[in-house]
Amino acid sequence: MRLSWLVITIAAAATLVVAGCSGSRVAADAATQEVALTLQTGMAGGRMVYVGVGGDIDGQINPDLEVEAGSRVRITLINDDGMAHDFSVPAFGAKTPIISAHGSEAEVAFTIKRGQEGTYDYFCTLAGHRQAGMEGRLIVR
């Protein structure tokens, strides 16, 4: 009995913290467009890859991530193979934490300024993974 009340109390507190954070984030991003993209890790044709989840990139292998300059980009990485991975775009200093548990998620957000139009590489920084297939392009228009 006592334990379940404790759990409920912690859950309620966590909800308040999350609500508080997202509220301030919405305010901070009001001036820029926010783009949320989700990728999951997996295998395709014997190679390690990222697979797009949802939206225009759904099901695509190592999809081109197309965003507009002046956007705040938020990438969610889902681990779908139980191996250690991350997601990085070095040109923007963006890198998720490494996640290895099947079903775990990590996130990274970064801002692309106007004038930074171009094509940039994204890839997994774990040794050998980029060479094994975990790479793609971030295209800023």
The residue length of the chain stands at 141
Number of residues that bind Cu ion (CB under 5 A): 5
Pairing between β-strand 88-89 and β-strand 94-95 as defined by DSSP bridges: antiparallel
Q: Which is nearer to Cu ion, 25 or 47 (CB)?
A: 47
Task: Please report whether residue 85 would count as binding Cu ion according to CB under 5 A.
Answer: yes
In the numeric block, the tokens 């996130």 are attached to 107
Q: How distant, in Å, are the alpha carbons of 39, 48, 107, 116, 131 from that of 59?
A: 9, 14, 19, 28, 21
Q: Which is nearer to Cu ion, 112 or 138 (CB)?
A: 138
Closest CB 40 distance from Cu ion, rounded Å:
12
Closest CB 130 distance from Cu ion, rounded Å:
8
Binding footprint of Cu ion on the chain (CB under 5 A): 85, 124, 126, 129, 134
